[in-house]
Amino acid sequence: MPMAAIVELAAIRKSYGIGTPVEAEVLHGIDLRIGQGEFAALTGPSGSGKSTLLNIVGLLERPTAGRLEIDGRDTSVLAESDLTELRGRTIGFVFQFHHLLPGFTALENVMMPRIIERGAADDGAQAAAIELLRRVGLRGAEYKRPSQLSGGMQQRVAIARALSMSPRLILADEPTGNLDTHSADDVFALLREFNHDFGSACLIVTHDPRLAQRCDRQVEIVDGRLTDGSSPPAI
Amino acid sequence: MTRPRLPFEWLVALRYLREGRLQTVLILAGVTGGVAVIIFLTTLITQLQASIVERTLGSQAHVVLRPPEEVNRPVLPPGETAAIVQPRAQRPRSVDQWEAVTRLAAGQPGVIAVSPVVSGAGFAIRGTTNKAIALLGVDAERYRRIVDMDRYMLRGRFAVAGTDTVIGIELAADLGVTLGDKLRVTTAEGRDEVLTIVGVFDIGNRDLNRRWLFTTIKLAQSLLALPGGVSNIDLKVVDIFAADRVADRLRAQTGLTVDSWMQTNAQLLSALRNQSVSNSLIRSFVVVIVAVGIASVLVVSVVQKQREIGILRAMGASPGRIMTVFLLQGAIYGLVGSAMGAGLADGLLHFFSNVYRNADGTRLFTADLDGALILRVCALAIVVGLLAAALPARRAARMDPVQAIKM
């Protein structure tokens, strides 16, 4: 019996500049299914549409055509506010450039998704955030600002933040792209660990074939089509 | 370090304000200055106007009822015959049924004192000196409630009975008389009486000090040949700026000539109005400048924080909550700025009330702050802060999280 899907894409197309002379289709009909707890790499050359696909899966952008289901819910019928809520509850992001909030401490950054969801910090938020920081190896750095941390440490804070809502799906856009090999391995190992411990599905965009090979599954995208033959062939 | 219990919007808004230290300090200084100017100017002008009005009204009634002017009516219909109609000389007359009119006026809403007065021209004579005077026959008790004569008394008391009289300091000097001395008063009606001075006043106006001479109503009636009559009825009202409305009503009800102080002092009133208008203009300019300042600081802040806004949106913060974060910043600028502005205005008022003094050494104005004014200005500052923040806040809320993160 196949695993229940956390993400299900069917014939997803995305165009930019619709109605203008520079209209361009970036994704040409993507069919992709990611199961609960799956650990997948999304690879492909620059400009192939990796980030666009990730943004669509992350509900940051809406597809031009096609059907996208997240955790069994058809997102095309959801209003913007419902998308925002679904995103906050289900998905955790890790970006290439960590994107921490510079004015807040590491602890506050990790607590922020929960503060956003609950309206304010609650009793468990701080303890949970301290525990997450400990797990990513940042005990003692709770009250440091991002600018006081190294690149690898910042990325680990970002991972702790992505995990703070115990998301069913973690989307990572080149999470190691900005790090030296050693830190990159650390970060990758952390993602692996959380995938194993919490059962969060991971979709990791990466340029690094070494990392991609260490994932359970590799999805390759070239010129807006998946190379597994699921996309319609170029005409 | 952490403020664990603050709601998300407050947490982020306060942190952004703290982060943008210099911007925050500068715009707070701007709001503080603006609020201080508004409170300072308004307090100053309100007090100065009140003291001008008080000085003006200190020696006159708010509303005066007089008999209607006498006019000549041509017997022949106008337009059919050539006629020159000369204006009539106005002889002294009594207000018709003045006791009934007095009761009617006293019953009007907003009227707090009514005093019938018998007034006319005469001469005060002492030895070989004689001076033109305005003879005022009053009931001291009732007149006191119209013009607070007790405040102006230099010697003796403001009380008239029998042949007692109260005169001004200049008249006393001109005639060389003082308390207890006698003087003779004659009128054009050919009547005269010897009066005893029981009081000397200084009403703050040389002209009135030289001319006013108070006696009883009865004595004035007999000197001016107005037996049983009074020449005018003076009123005092609660709201001095509603005096013309009271006057209009009484004019319609009695058919008498009714003048309010606002008509007799039309020029003063229009000067006060102009002053109020220029104050309002200055206030409006300050409000606009403060609003533009807050808006521009927040616009810059939204641009600076584009990426962070994108991250917050990606983490599940709705556009409405992002908007609230920036609206709050505007409101906080208004609230904190107005609190500090009130403090600054208080300091300015204390300082300048010591610097500027009247000719007699008393303060031109006091440093009393009006609590209601401060509350109004604070409310205004918060509303202006919110309105100024509306545009940047909308911009922040509409930001596309993907674009914001890519920046």
Contacts of B1 in chain A (CB under 8 A): 105, 143
Select from B210, B226, B255 the last residue of a domain: B255
Q: Measured between CA atoms, how close is B396 to chain A, in angstroms?
A: 16
| B18–chain A Cβ distance below 8 A for any pair | yes
**Which residues of chain A are within 8 Å of residue B2 when distances are taken between CB atoms?**
105, 107-108, 121, 126, 143
CA-to-CA distance for A28 and A51, rounded, in angstroms? 14
Query: Residue B365: inside a domain, yes or no?
Result: yes
Are residues B167 and B127 part of one domain? Answer: yes
Please report whether residue A205 resides in a domain.
Answer: yes
Nearest to B234 by CA among B267, B260, B208, B196: B260
- For residues B190 and B221, membership in a common domain is answered with yes
Q: Identify the pLDDT of residue B288.
A: 92
Mean pLDDT of A170-186: 82
The helices-and-strands tally (H runs, E runs) of chain B is 15, 10
Domain for residue B264, yes or no? no
A interface with B, Cβ–Cβ below 8 Å: 55, 58, 60-61, 80-81, 84-85, 87-89, 93, 95, 99-105, 107-108, 112-113, 115-117, 119-121, 125-126, 143, 161
Mean pLDDT, residues B55-73: 86
Q: Does one domain contain both B224 and B275? A: no
For residue B316, give how far its alpha carbon lies from the nearest alpha carbon of chain A (Å): 4
Please check whether residues B117 and B38 belong to one and the same domain. Answer: no
Task: Answer yes or no: do B153 and B107 share one domain.
Answer: yes
How many domains would you assign to chain B? 2
Examine residue B210 and state whether it is found in any structural domain, yes or no: yes
CB-CB contact of B386 with B338 (8 Å):
no
Q: What was the pLDDT predicted at B357?
A: 80
Given a cut of 90, whether residue B64 has pLDDT beyond it is yes
Chain A partners within 8 Å of B309 (Cβ): none
In a domain, A161, yes or no: yes
Interface TM-score (ipTM) > 0.95: no
Bridge partner list, B119:
B136
Q: H or E stretch including A176?
A: none
Strands A169-173 and A91-94: parallel
Name the residue among A81, A93, A103 with its Cβ closest to that of B314. A93
Residues of B in Cβ contact (< 8 Å) with A119: 7-8
The range of the structural domain enclosing residue A188 comes to: 5-18+25-226
The alpha-helical segments, DSSP class H, found in B239-370 are 243-254, 261-264, 266-304, 306-314, 319-355
pLDDT band at B70 (very low <50, low <70, confident <90, very high): confident
Asked which of A21-25, B21-25, B91-95, B402-406 is least confident by mean pLDDT, the reply is B402-406
- Per residue in B216-263, pLDDT (tens digit) is 999 999 999 999 999 999 999 988 888 999 999 999 999 899 999 988
Which two three-digit tokens encode residue B33? 């200055």
Note whether residue A174 is domain-resident: yes
Domain identity same for B15 and B126: no
How confident is the model over B184-208, as a mean pLDDT? 92
Asked whether residue A101 is domain-assigned, the answer is: yes
What pLDDT sits at residue B21?
Answer: 86
Give the per-residue pLDDT at B175: 93
Q: Does B374 contact chain A (CB < 8 Å)?
A: no
Please report residues of A whose CB lies closer than 8 A to that of B314.
58, 60, 87, 93
Tokens describing residue A99 = 């994107």
Final residue of a domain: which of B187, B220, B255? B255
Q: Which domain holds residue B371?
A: 8-55+269-406
**Which chain A residues touch B404 with a CB distance below 8 Å?**
none
For residue B79, being part of any structural domain is answered with no
The answer to whether residue A65 sits within a structural domain is: yes
Clarify whether residues B217 and B274 are in a common domain: no
Evaluate whether B319 touches B4 at the Cβ level (below 8 Å): no
- Residue B19 CB contacts under 8 Å (≥ 6 apart), including other chains: A102, A103
Q: For residues B303 and B391, state if they share a domain.
A: yes
**Among A11-20, A92-101, B47-56, B118-127, which is the least confidently predicted range?**
A92-101
Q: Which residues of B touch A84 (CB under 8 A)?
A: 313, 316-319
pLDDT tens figures, A12-31: 889 888 888 888 888 888 89
Residues of chain A contacting residue B322, judged by C-beta atoms under 8 Å apart: none
The H or E element containing residue A9 is strand A5-16
Q: Are B195 and B92 in contact (CB under 8 A)?
A: no
Tokens 């049983």: give the residue.
B228
Q: Is residue B312 less than 8 Å (CB to CB) from chain A?
A: yes
Same domain assignment for residues B275 and B325: yes
Question: pLDDT tier at B284 (50, 70, 90 boundaries)?
Answer: very high
- Residue A173: both structure tokens together: 């856009």
Of B205, B231, B255, the residue at which a domain comes to its end is B255
Q: Do B316 and A88 touch (CB under 8 A)?
A: yes
Chain B residue closest to A51 (CA)?
B402
- Are A60 and B321 inside 8 Å of each other by CB? no
CB contact (8 A) between residue B314 and residue A89: no
pLDDT at A233 over 50: no
Query: Chain B residue with minimal CA distance to A171?
Result: B314
Domain count, chain A: 1
B7: closest CA of chain A, how far (Å): 4
B300 plus B350 within the same structural domain:
yes
How far are the Cα atoms of A29, B288, B291, B339, B341 from residue B30, in angstroms, in the given order? 56, 12, 10, 13, 9
Same domain, B242 and B314: no
Task: Note whether residue A235 is domain-resident.
Answer: no
Q: Is residue B308 within 8 angstroms of chain A, CB to CB?
A: yes
- For residue B258, list its beta bridge partners: B65
Set of chain A residues whose Cβ sits within 8 Å of the Cβ of B6: 120-121
Q: Is there a domain that residue B62 lies in?
A: no
Does residue B145 lie within any of the structural domains? yes
Q: Read off the pLDDT band of B142 (50, 70, 90).
A: very high
Q: How far apart are the first and last CA of chain B?
A: 29
Report pLDDT digits (tens) over A37-68: 899 999 888 888 888 898 899 888 889 988 89
Domain for residue B329, yes or no?
A: yes
Residue B286, min C-alpha distance to chain A (Å) = 32
Q: Residue A36: give its domain's CATH number.
A: 3.40.50.300
> Shortest CB distance from B8 goes to which of A80, A87, A119?
A119
Residue B184 included in any domain: yes
Query: Alpha-carbon distance B37 to A172, whole Å?
Result: 54
